[in-house]
């Protein structure tokens, strides 16, 4: 599953590493949204899994729907 940014802004911090195991709702990336007065907002993992790819780094400028992180795991709604 590719996690995408829901808003535009600048990457302030990447909180995961390649191969990291993450829990559902764990913070993946902090993005400073210019319309939110410079307060960084977190993008959270939609599911538990392992980080396969990181598509951004600190300082990157993002647009809505840009790729952030690729996770491998059971997507919500899938049967085991």
What pLDDT, on the 0 to 100 scale, is given for residue 10? 94
Residue 68 covered by a domain:
yes
- Strand segments, DSSP code E, in 1-80 are 2-4, 9-14, 21-22, 27-32, 40-44, 49-54, 61-62, 67-72
Residue 58 counted as domain residue: yes
Q: Is there a domain that residue 43 lies in? A: yes
Q: Output the pLDDT for position 49.
A: 97
Give domain status of residue 80, yes or no.
no
DSSP-derived 3-state class of residue 35:
helix
Quote the domain boundaries for residue 66.
2-72
Residue 79 has pLDDT above 60, yes or no: no
Does a structural domain hold residue 79? Answer: no
Per residue in 7-66, pLDDT tens? 999 999 999 999 999 999 999 999 998 776 778 999 999 999 999 999 999 999 999 999
Structurally, how many domains does the chain consist of?
A: 1
Residue 40 domain flag: yes
CATH of the domain at 20: 2.40.50.100
Is residue 54, in this structure, part of any structural domain at all? yes
pLDDT of amino acid 27: 98
């Amino acid at each position: 599953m590719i996690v995408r940014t829901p808003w535009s802004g600048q990457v302030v911090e990447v909180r995961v590493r390649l191969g990291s195991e993450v829990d559902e709702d764990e913070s993946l990336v902090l993005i400073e949204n210019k319309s939110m007065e410079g307060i960084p907002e977190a993008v959270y993992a939609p599911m538990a899994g392992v980080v396969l790819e990181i598509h951004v780094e600190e300082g990157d400028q993002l647009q809505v729907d840009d790729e952030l992180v690729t996770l491998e795991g059971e997507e919500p709604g899938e049967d085991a």
